Every structure is written in structure tokens, then in C-alpha cells.
Structure 1
Amino acid sequence: MISCTVRYEIDPDQLPAFEIYAKAWIHLVEKLGGTHHGYHMPHEGPNDIAYCHFSFASLADYEDYRTRMHEDPDCQRAYAHARATKCIRRYDRSFTKPLLAGVSVEALGL
């Protein structure tokens, strides 16, 4: 499994527009075969930073998603919304391999 974290710098005055964008992408990632772990919106601290996390079974599946995303009219509508509202100032992506199962301290020999 590979997970993608996107860190967004958003326009705080366009938070409702960004929420529309986020809700669309939760649906779109799942429609295109991924698992979306949600958006994490500003609450305390900086009011212009948001995150999202989503996963695919493999890097190849993620790359296939990226290809299909560029061809999907609903994805293009979501991008057009972000451009029209200027709710996103910038973003960057990072990729991680999640560790999801814990083990007792005793079993680990600690």
C-alpha cells in the first residue's frame, strides 16, 4: 500500500469553496479505486493549511489513477472549481508506506 498526503495552502476566505472541492475529491478518489482517509481542515493554529490523505494498493495503482484522473470529466470539473474560486494557493504531495498493525510491547521483546 502507498499513501499520499497532500498539504494545501488555502485561502481562508475561500474555505467554503475548498470544502466543496474536498468533498468532491473524497468521492473521486474512491470512484477511481483509492481509499480516501479524509481532509483535515484548519481548526486551531494556522487558518490557511489543510491536509488530505488517501491510499492505493500500489504505486502502479496510484499512477493508473493519475492517468485516469486527467481523463475524467468530474475530476476536471473539480479542478475547474478550484481555479475559479482560487481556494488553493499551493499544494505539495508526499508518499508514505503506512504501518497499520501494532504489536504488544511484550511480543516485541521490549
Structure 2
Amino acid sequence: MITIHLRYQIDPEQLDTFTEYGRRWIRLVNRLGGDHHGYFLPAEGDNDEAFALFSFPSLAAYEQYRIAAATDPECIEAYELVRGTGCIVRFERRFQTPLFGDEAELRP
């Protein structure tokens, strides 16, 4: 299993737009074979930082998702929401292997 950790720098004046973007991607990632763990929006402290986590069974499955998302009309529409508004200033993407619970082993 692979988990993708996204850190976003967002425009705090466009939190509502970024929230809409997140709602769309939760549904889209799940529809395209992933397991979205949610978006984590600013509440206290920094008002321009948000996070998202989602998992795929393997890196190969994630790559298939990326290929499908590049031509999926709903995904393209979500990308365009960001391009048109500038609600995301920048983002970082990290790939991690999750460890679940006390008895769990790392899942490659």
C-alpha cells in the first residue's frame, strides 16, 4: 500500500473554493480506485496551509489513477477550478508507507 501526503499552501481568502476542490477530489479519488482519507483545512494557527491523505494498493495503481485522471472530464474540471481561481499557491506531494496499529507490519 502507498499513501500520498499532500501539503498545500492555499490562498486563505479562497478557503471556500479550496474546500469545494477538496470535496470534488475525495469523490474522484474514491471513484478512480483510491481510498481518500480526507482534507485537513486550517482551523487555528497558519491560515494558508492544508493537507490531504489518500491511499492506493500500490504505486502501480496510483500511476493508473494518474493516467485516468488526466483524461477524466470531472478531474479536468477540478484542475480548472484551481487554475481559474489560484486558490492553491503551491503543493508538495510525498509517498509514504502506512503503519496501522500496534500489531501491524509495514505494507509495501
TM-score range, shorter chain: over 0.9
Q: Residue in 1 aligned with 2:63?
A: 63
Amino acid corresponding to residue 53 of structure 1 in structure 2: L
- Which protein is bigger by CA-based radius of gyration? 1
CA displacement, residues 42-89 of structure 1 (integer Å, 9 cap, x when unaligned): 011110000000000000000000111101010000000111111000
The Cα of 1:102 is off from its aligned counterpart by 1.1
Structure 1, unaligned runs of 5 or more: 104-110
Q: Residue in 1 aligned with 2:22?
A: 22
Superposition TM-score, scaled by structure 1 size: 0.92
CA distance in 1, matches of 2:7, 2:49: 7
Q: Residue in 2 aligned with 1:9?
A: 9
Structure 1 residue ranges (4+ consecutive) displaced by more than 2 angstroms after TM superposition = none
CA distance in 1, matches of 2:15, 2:93: 20
CA RMSD across the alignment: 0.6
Amino acid corresponding to residue 18 of structure 1 in structure 2: F
**What fraction of aligned residue pairs are identical, expressed as a percent?**
50
Structure 2, unaligned runs of 5 or more: 104-108
2:47 paired with 1:47: yes
